[in-house]
Structure 1
Amino acid sequence: MKTPADSRARRRLITLIATGTALLVLVAFGVYGLLTGPAKPSSQPSPPASSATESDTPGATRAPSPPTAPVVRGSRDPQTFAGNVALALFTWDTTTGLMPLDYTSALLDVGDPTGQEQAGLAADIATYMPTRDAWIDLRQYATTQTLTIDSIQIPSSWNEAVDQAHPGQLPEGAAAYTIHGTRQRDGIWNGAPTSAKREVAFTVFIACPPEETCHLLRLSRLDNPLD
């Protein structure tokens, strides 16, 4: 015969078993959680921010590089240097962001190191370059200019000038080269490529002292070279 005490003990045992079972379930889920990590949310999380810079991302738009200032290639050979000057004088591109002054500065950089001819040389170059306003107009048509050199020769009149010059009147290693060539301008007109060619002639006055790189002295007027 079961006593009231036995009934209370049985109920306590059932309670303990139930409580123990619940604890085991919680512990089991706790261990499972440690193994699998937190539950995944129902919606996909946003991808983590990439540490790569914009320039490292495929397809990303890179910032445009600054325009490169032109350079006149130096040389100790008079004829080679005269040709380099001619190409620098006639080669420009209005679409790069450079202005006529940038091309003028490149030529002045190889000018007379004493500075005596710099002002005159700057005035000479200005007659070959478009003005700033003309440059801005040409930029609308993506205008570029190049030169094809046909001949480089020492004019016969230069030899006479050297013979008649007083001592010290000409710098050491002075020389003159008359250049004949074809100037070509290319651009876009009404959406279509267009080009125009023109024959040009001019004289480059330079000085090439012994064991030194040549430098530019002056330029003749366009189409009025020494013969």
Structure 2
Amino acid sequence: MKTPDLSDHRTRRRFITAVGAAVAVLVLAGVGVYGLLAGPPSQGNDDSATPGPMVTAPSDPVPTTTPRLPVVRTSDDPQSFARNVATALFEWDTASGFMPLDYTSVILDVGDPTGQEQVGLASDIAAYLPSRDAWLELRQYATAQHLTIDTTYIPDAWATAEEQAQPGQLADGTVAVTIEGTRHRTGLWSDEQVTSEHTVAFTVFVVCAPTYDTCHLLRLSQLDNPLR
């Protein structure tokens, strides 16, 4: 039996690290309630992100199943809806043939119908997804991701935010839900599956009844910088 080459192990270790960190650089700064308390977001939207590892492969992997985009299930319960958003937000597959903007559209579809937070929400989502360049690199290894949720709760800081809000700044039924869980990634290296896991925490801002019959997404906090 051939003994594995040491350099191959080192290369594989660097690949696993890259898979776990491809979206570590975020394009937003600050947390809190974002535009919810500060008014409509500015029109600037920085979609820049650090590209993925510069590694080449012979060809892109071929999907073994019919590609599909995730779906955000509707709900009139804030915590249930926030969990549905989080599940869809973290569910992507670079081998599906879709691009980051396709996954972004899935989340934007459940945004506030008024469109007031739409520009800011698009920037929020972009910070959770790999950049286009990183996506193309990760596609060579059929990198996919999903989220397991451990806990959801309405943070104590939200009560303070509501107290500080001026009349009319927050629509009735607006609430923050903090989610804690584990991000899972899988990929292929030399026809062998590799995995990585990373704990994550973030806050989802939603608006539900009585403003709307079903909940809608307003904004997302910075990843790993949630309201507590």
TM-score, length of structure 1 as denominator length:
0.69
- Cα distance between partner residues in 1 of 2:109 and 2:119: 13
**Gap change, CA 1:193 and 1:68, over 3 Å in 2:** closer
Structure 1 counterpart of 2:95, which letter? T
CA deviation profile, 1:64-115 (whole Å, cap 9, x unmatched): 9974333211111111000000001101111111111111001000001000
Partner of 2:98: 98
SS in 2 for 1:124: helix
SS in 1 for 2:115: coil
Partner of 1:169: 169
Unaligned runs of 5+ in 1: 1-63
SS in 2 for 1:127: helix
Partner of 1:180: 180
- Cα distance between partner residues in 2 of 1:156 and 1:174: 14
- Cα distance between partner residues in 1 of 2:185 and 2:71: 20
1:77 aligns with 2:77: yes
Residues 70 and 91, structure 2, Cα contact 8 Å, conserved in 1:
no
Alignment of 1:1-227 (within 5 A): 67-210=67-210, 212-227=213-228
**Structure number with higher relative contact order (C-alpha < 8 Å, ≥ 6 residues apart):** 2
- Cα distance between partner residues in 2 of 1:65 and 1:93: 11
Identity over aligned pairs, percent: 63
Residues 145 and 186, structure 1, Cα contact 8 Å, conserved in 2:
yes
- Cα distance between partner residues in 1 of 2:101 and 2:67: 14
Aligned residues: 164
**Gap change, CA 1:69 and 1:191, over 3 Å in 2:** closer
CA deviation profile, 1:121-147 (whole Å, cap 9, x unmatched): 000000000011111111110111010
Question: How many angstroms does 1:117 deviate by?
Answer: 0.2
Structure 1 counterpart of 2:102, which letter? D
- Cα distance between partner residues in 2 of 1:178 and 1:126: 19
Q: Which has the larger radius of gyration?
A: 1
CA deviation profile, 1:176-206 (whole Å, cap 9, x unmatched): 0111100010010122110000000100000
Structure 2 counterpart of 1:79, which letter? Q
Structure 2 counterpart of 1:212, which letter? D
Structure 2 counterpart of 1:220, which letter? S
Partner of 1:22: none
Residues 183 and 200, structure 1, Cα contact 8 Å, conserved in 2:
yes
- Cα distance between partner residues in 1 of 2:102 and 2:199: 25
Residues 70 and 102, structure 1, Cα contact 8 Å, conserved in 2:
no
TM-score, length of structure 2 as denominator length:
0.69
- Cα distance between partner residues in 1 of 2:67 and 2:182: 26
- Cα distance between partner residues in 2 of 1:203 and 1:148: 15
